[in-house]
Structure 1
Amino acid sequence: MHDFDWIYECAVIFYVVSLLGYFIDFLQNNRKANRFAFWLLSIVWVLQIIYFFVTLMQINRFPILTPYEGLYFVSWLIVTLSLLINWFSRIDFFVFFANIIGFIMMSVYVFSPETELLPFITETMTTELFFMHIAMAFLAYAAFTLAFVFSLMYFIQYEILKNKINFRRLGRFGSLPELEKMSLFFTMIGVPLLLISLIWGAIWGHLTLDTFFYFDAKVVTSIIVLMMYSFLLYMKIMKQEHGKKLALINIAAYLFLLINIFLSQSFSTFHWW
């Protein structure tokens, strides 16, 4: 534990109360709870930034090189983007759904074992090329997470409308075309970011590692993820597909992305992240 961990603990507490406010708004259509939750989430965002830079000065490197540090970084990106979307868009419930995922990632970080990189690993991994490879991957993960949330909201609203369920706050989900448009937008951002990350990762591996394994579990699953999201864009742009089918493909691709993040590294021969 570090002397500045209280900053992170405060952020977690504010995060919990913020989600509680959004949950009350979701159940009761309480605008005051929504505004209260928004400002609490803004405080969480500020505390995350403070903790991030204090950690950076403490360990003397950019804190995204371990899997748990990466989850923290993605959690901060989710908070950042959800606040921006909430400010400029009227898809009210998006912030609630997106930050459930962000909070889970943040909680995994806070309860994770503290890991230190070995000196020789640190020297190898902190090259500019490797840093950009990791940063692009995490930006892609954040984009795909938001695309998943919009697709999930689309699917929920589609089923509510299809089954004629009386849900008075349905309008605060946003319209189906708007949800599909936002999901496609973040997918279109995530695909090139992930492609660039894979290219830079392959170049870094060839320049740094004695043996680069193309059939490494992390490499293979990352390529499959890229192919799944590329197929989604192909179906939308070339085949003019839309609606529930695209939403389900996006949800399936994200679930496979989670396998890529959490499981494939256990079977990887050279990925420590």
Structure 2
Amino acid sequence: MLDSIILSYVTFVYFAAFLFYLVMMVMGKEFPGRLATVMSVAGLVVQTAAIVLRWKTSYKLGIGHAPFSNLYESLVFFAWTIMLLYLIVEWRTKNKTLGVFVAPLAFLAMAYASFSPNINSGIQPLVPALKSNWLISHVITCFFGYAAFGLSFGLSIMYLLKSPDTRETHNIFLRLIPPRGILDELNYQMILIGFLMLTLGIITGSVWAHSAWGTYWGWDPKETWSLITWLIYAAVIHSRLVRGWKGKKIAILCIVGFSCVLFTYFGVNYLAGLHSYAKS
């Protein structure tokens, strides 16, 4: 289908953006960074158009649902939320270095969606459990939460790479990374956004579960791991606000938290449960 062909090309656009961000960091030149931003914006615009096209096509086929219903569509949307949130952060901070650590997440999500032989890119009818108006709100809130945690993951890696001594290195790559204090504060902002979105995602999912299966919580593997992920980031926020944790400890916890995000998203799809449709 045309939309999936367009989206496969977006994969290479995001890969090119990553390469330009990397060249910027290695060479310390501003021009590759500008090209990277242009590629990122172009990829996001084209991806948005392809998602809208896929949505319209589903109605023309008589299926008629938002393009968030299977693994292919969720991967595409995951990449979209990551790039959108990243570009907002880049615009706000006027710093492009995070792109080296975040653009690969969008590229890998798109590459897996577009080129994995195990993923069906066709538009499929909804299973009965997905025929709900809660689908859009649940998916959007969850994936914006995942995207914020993805940016937090990138910021945490940057924090661990950055030396506390700003005079320490002749390495251009490390010197271009913002000071640790800025990284720590921006990381905390991403954690708060992600935690809020994931909380809303769990709430909307619970309401949806009640309408679909008659129970707000069934201890399905995805529900359980969503709760584990939520508790980890709740612990991060608690540790910062109550115990005053900052810096390295928070960065390590965020990396652990994002590992749980990935398992919640991918790993539990291969366990028997109410969300097993998401692996198709």
Normalised by the size of structure 2, how large is the TM-score?
0.88
Alignment partner of 2:190 out of 169, 186, 201: 186
Q: 2:240 — aligned with what?
A: 236
% of aligned pairs identical?
A: 22
RMSD: 2.3
Q: 2:221 — aligned with what?
A: 217
Alignment partner of 2:112 out of 105, 108, 118: 108
Counterpart amino acid of residue 8 in structure 2: E
Counterpart amino acid of residue 24 in structure 2: D
Shift of 1:6: 3.9
Q: 2:62 — aligned with what?
A: none
Number of equivalences: 270
Shift of 1:16: 2.5
Alignment partner of 2:142 out of 121, 137, 148: 137
Shift of 1:224: 0.4
Counterpart amino acid of residue 226 in structure 2: S
Secondary structure at 2:2's aligned position in 1? coil
Shift of 1:47: 0.7
Q: 2:261 — aligned with what?
A: 257
1:152 and 2:151 equivalent? no
Counterpart amino acid of residue 66 in structure 2: F
| CA distance in structure 2 between the aligned counterparts of 1:120 and 1:91, rounded to whole angstroms | 41
With over 3 angstroms needed to count, the CA separation of the structure-2 counterparts of 1:239 and 1:4, relative to structure 1, is: closer
1:72 and 2:71 equivalent? no
Q: 1:43 — aligned with what?
A: 42
Q: 1:8 — aligned with what?
A: 7
1:29 and 2:28 equivalent? yes
- Greater Cα offset, 213-222 or 46-55: 213-222
Secondary structure at 1:242's aligned position in 2? coil
- 1:113-128 matches, within 5 Å, as 113-114=119-120, 119=125, 121=127, 123-128=128-133
- Greater Cα offset, 196-205 or 141-150: 196-205
Structure 1: tracts of 5 or more residues without a match:
none
| CA distance in structure 1 between the aligned counterparts of 2:228 and 2:268, rounded to whole angstroms | 12
| CA distance in structure 1 between the aligned counterparts of 2:93 and 2:34, rounded to whole angstroms | 14
1:94 and 2:98 equivalent? yes
Counterpart amino acid of residue 47 in structure 1: V
- Greater Cα offset, 126-135 or 204-213: 204-213
Structure 2: tracts of 5 or more residues without a match:
60-64
Shift of 1:214: 2.5
- Greater Cα offset, 18-27 or 143-152: 18-27
Conserved 8 A contact 1:140-1:191 = yes
| CA distance in structure 2 between the aligned counterparts of 1:6 and 1:208, rounded to whole angstroms | 33
With over 3 angstroms needed to count, the CA separation of the structure-2 counterparts of 1:88 and 1:195, relative to structure 1, is: closer
After TM superposition, which residue ranges in structure 1, 4 or more long, deviate above 6 angstroms? none
| CA distance in structure 2 between the aligned counterparts of 1:190 and 1:16, rounded to whole angstroms | 25
| CA distance in structure 2 between the aligned counterparts of 1:102 and 1:21, rounded to whole angstroms | 15
With over 3 angstroms needed to count, the CA separation of the structure-2 counterparts of 1:261 and 1:120, relative to structure 1, is: closer
Shift of 1:170: 3.1
Counterpart amino acid of residue 224 in structure 1: I
| CA distance in structure 2 between the aligned counterparts of 1:50 and 1:192, rounded to whole angstroms | 28
